[in-house]
Structure 1
Amino acid sequence: MNTIKIDQDVPVFSLEHDPVLPGKLFSMRHFEGMRPHESELLVPHRKDYYLLVFARRGDSRHWVDMTPYVTTENTFYFFGPNQVIVKEEPKCMWGTAIAFDREFLALHDNASMAHLPVIRNEQNTHELKLAQADVTFVEDMLAKMQKEFMQPGEWQQKMITASLTLLLTYLSRLYDEQYKSITSPNDKSLLKKYQAAIEENFRKIHQVSEYAALLSVSPGHLRDVIKSQSGKSAIVHIQERMVLEARRMLFHTEYSLKEIGFDLGFSDASYFSRFFKRETGVTPAEYRALTREMYQ
């Protein structure tokens, strides 16, 4: 297994320089029997864009945030920024890929897509199984988008946006059905702001009261709203994000436990180890050994 050395960072691949789907804001490609590009094969990496792949056929194995997946037919896979990905096998795959970055989602006509469950991916999952009726719908939408993508014109952007919005809305319904999201259907603006604040600050801010100050609300109000809207306590959101990053670094890098703890805001390696064991049931060293043994 390739790992990132202590003087390196996990590489981040941009859409503009993607070897398969190069584009500035949006890209799309249909492929028959395509193999992973050598630059990505066996290299732990992150993407700074969203990638959605409808796999018609293929049986290669890849990893997303330490979880292995074997590509299966008629399955929709989705990747988001920050997830650590490893493509393990140079096997052929048949399907269609769509890629777009945060700037694309920030465009006025596209803003609503950023709030869809399959894009927010609050369950931090990666695949959707499609029934035959779903396959028919997805194939039809992808064909329409591919036609527009290959014919630049005045209305191309609006047509692609309309089709992509419909496709992502359909996939979001499947996402909720398959992963049974427990988030409230009511307004979740504070929850979204809280999650965004954690994503930006989890390495240095570990207390709910500090996030409350950052969001200009009282700690009690923040705790009540987050619990009611997510089903999890506010502190759990912070802890889960810290554990996820720790697991990524333990699995994909050669950083020492002290270095990982320091990166996550722990001044003492033993405190980091106690925190990790409390949250996962194993020590960081045990987790690293067990997961790498599993990888082989």
Structure 2
Amino acid sequence: MNMLQSQQPVPVHAFKPDKATGSNAFTIARSEGGLVYESDVLLPHRKAYYLLVFVRHNRGRHWVDTMPYEHHDNTFYFSTPTQVMVKEEPTPSWGTFLTFTNEFLALQQNAAIRGLPLIQNPHNGHELQLAAADVAFVEEVLAKLEAEYQAPGPWQHQMLSAYLTVLLTYLSRLYTEQFTGAEPSAEKQLLKTYQAKIEECFRELHEVGAYAELLHLSAGHLSEVVKAQSGKPAIKHIHERLVLEARRQLFYSYQSLKEIAFDLGFSDASYFARFFKRETGMTPAEYRASTREMYQ
């Protein structure tokens, strides 16, 4: 697997508008055996948009964060803008690719999409296994989406949003079955809201009290609900998100410890190193060396 060879941070790939249709916030494309990946995705990167791929047939392997995924037929893959990705090698692919931006989700007509589990992705997942009935449903909706996408008109945006809402709602039901297994209670919803706020602010806010203030709650109440729903102290969720981002950068980039610490909101690199060792049992340097030795 290729690694970044400079001390630059993991690059972020911008959304590419569809020149043929003029779409600048949503695209859908089908591949029938093409090499759809460009060379720059063979290096670690993030995407500044959501990517959803229904793979009918493909072989190979790619990575999301520090998790390898072997490609399987009739599988739905999805990623959010925060995740670090890299593909090991270009391989022919048969499938359908959907991309859309945060600006697309911000449109009023897409309000129902923003809160779906597949989009919020609280479990940092990436892969959905589809049964035969699921494959048939997904293929039917994707065909309707693609047909509408290729036929611009005054109602096109509303139709695209409607079909996409149906598709992502269906996939979100599969997501909850494969990752959570239950409908969220009010307390569970608070946990999800807390996790979403951490996702937004973990670089700047490292204390539970700061999140409680954002949510207009007392720190005690927030801590109590989070501990009851997740089995972990509220501060642990913040620390785990910081460690996840640190692992990403240590694994995929050659940024210095000081640069990573500063990016994560630590003013002192030595304090960050102690924090990382306390949470993982390894120093940042030990983690970087051991993981690269394991996966090279």
1:108-163, CA deviations, whole angstroms, 9 ceiling, x for partnerless residues? 11111111111111000100011111111111111111111111112221221111
For residues 182 and 289 of structure 1, what CA distance do their matches in structure 2 show? 39
Letter in 2 for 1:15: F
> How many residues are aligned here?
295
The 5 Å alignment of 1:134-145 reads 134-145=134-145
Compared CA separation, residues 288 and 64, structure 1 to 2 (3 A): same
Unmatched 5+ residue regions in structure 2?
none
Q: Is the 8 A contact 2:203 2:264 kept in 1?
A: yes
Give RMSD over aligned pairs: 2.4
Q: Is the 8 A contact 1:4 1:44 kept in 2?
A: no
Question: Are 1:63 and 2:63 an aligned pair?
Answer: yes
Q: Which of 1 and 2 has higher RCO (CA within 8 Å, sep 6+)?
A: 2
Question: Are 1:40 and 2:40 an aligned pair?
Answer: yes
Name the residue aligned to 1:275.
275
1:70-99, CA deviations, whole angstroms, 9 ceiling, x for partnerless residues? 211010000111111112211111100111
Q: Secondary structure at the match of 1:40?
A: helix
TM-score, normalized by length of structure 2? 0.90
For residues 4 and 9 of structure 2, what CA distance do their matches in structure 1 show? 10
For residues 255 and 161 of structure 2, what CA distance do their matches in structure 1 show? 42
Instruction: Give 4+ residue runs of structure 1 displaced > 6 Å after superposition.
Output: 18-22
Compared CA separation, residues 208 and 22, structure 1 to 2 (3 A): farther
Q: Is the 8 A contact 2:10 2:249 kept in 1?
A: no
Q: Is the 8 A contact 1:41 1:89 kept in 2?
A: no
Name the residue aligned to 1:203.
203
The 5 Å alignment of 1:21-100 reads 23-100=23-100
Paired-residue identity, %:
58
For residues 282 and 182 of structure 1, what CA distance do their matches in structure 2 show? 35
Q: Measure how far apart 1:200 and its partner are.
A: 3.3
For residues 224 and 187 of structure 1, what CA distance do their matches in structure 2 show? 10
Unmatched 5+ residue regions in structure 1?
none
Q: Is the 8 A contact 2:17 2:25 kept in 1?
A: no
For residues 121 and 17 of structure 2, what CA distance do their matches in structure 1 show? 25
For residues 94 and 294 of structure 1, what CA distance do their matches in structure 2 show? 31
For residues 128 and 121 of structure 1, what CA distance do their matches in structure 2 show? 12
For residues 156 and 245 of structure 2, what CA distance do their matches in structure 1 show? 39
Q: Secondary structure at the match of 1:41?
A: helix
1:202-236, CA deviations, whole angstroms, 9 ceiling, x for partnerless residues? 22321112222343321112212333455543212
For residues 67 and 222 of structure 1, what CA distance do their matches in structure 2 show? 31
Moved more, 275-284 or 163-172: 275-284
Q: Secondary structure at the match of 2:90?
A: coil
Q: Secondary structure at the match of 2:243?
A: helix
Q: Secondary structure at the match of 1:63?
A: strand
1:47-91, CA deviations, whole angstroms, 9 ceiling, x for partnerless residues? 111110000001121111121112110100001111111122111
For residues 157 and 163 of structure 2, what CA distance do their matches in structure 1 show? 10
Q: Is the 8 A contact 2:58 2:92 kept in 1?
A: yes
